[in-house]
Amino acid sequence: MAEPPQPDGCGELPACFRRAAALRGRNIAKVLSWAGKTEDAARAARLALAELGEDAECSFILGAEASEFGRWDDAMLHYREALRHEPEDVAIQRALARALRASGQRADLQHDLEPRDSVSAGPTG
């Protein structure tokens, strides 16, 4: 019996489903974040990152959660990761600036916001 056709670009069908579920999880994390449910949003973002590997939006959500609880080192780590993929994103730049200011590391601000080569995070949505 012949194998069923695979969708273009997905390769192994289960991997395609896992990625789709991870993207759905990222979208759930974004909605939870918008609703002010920061801890739930971070939990969903972590689950999505487990499959996606890297994602600017998930990193931003994790930075927001760390900021909310005053974990500035963690917040800066997540915001810097988000900026690595989306260096022109003003919301991420502002969030990193707030975390740097709150942690007393204002001198690092110029360095973190300097233009540099970016890594494509792919389409966001």
**Token pair belonging to 103:** 């942690």
* DSSP assignment of 10-26: T-SHHHHHHHHHHHHHH
- Domains of the chain (ranges, CATH numbers): 13-113 (1.25.40.10)
Calpha distance 102→95 (Å, rounded): 11
Q: Which residue bears the tokens 């909605």?
A: 31
- Would the pTM of this model clear 0.85, i.e. be above it? no
Task: Give the percent of the chain with pLDDT over 70.
Answer: 74
Calpha distance 103→96 (Å, rounded): 10
**Token pair belonging to 91:** 């919301």
For residue range 57-99, list pLDDT tens digits in order: 999 999 999 999 999 999 999 999 999 999 999 999 999 999 9
In sequence order, which residues have a C-beta less than 8 Å from that of residue 116 and are 6 or more positions away?
87
Calpha distance 120→98 (Å, rounded): 25
pLDDT the model gives residue 119:
46
pLDDT of 13 over the 90 cut: no
pLDDT the model gives residue 8:
54
CA-only gyration radius of the chain, Å: 17
**Token pair belonging to 25:** 């999880």
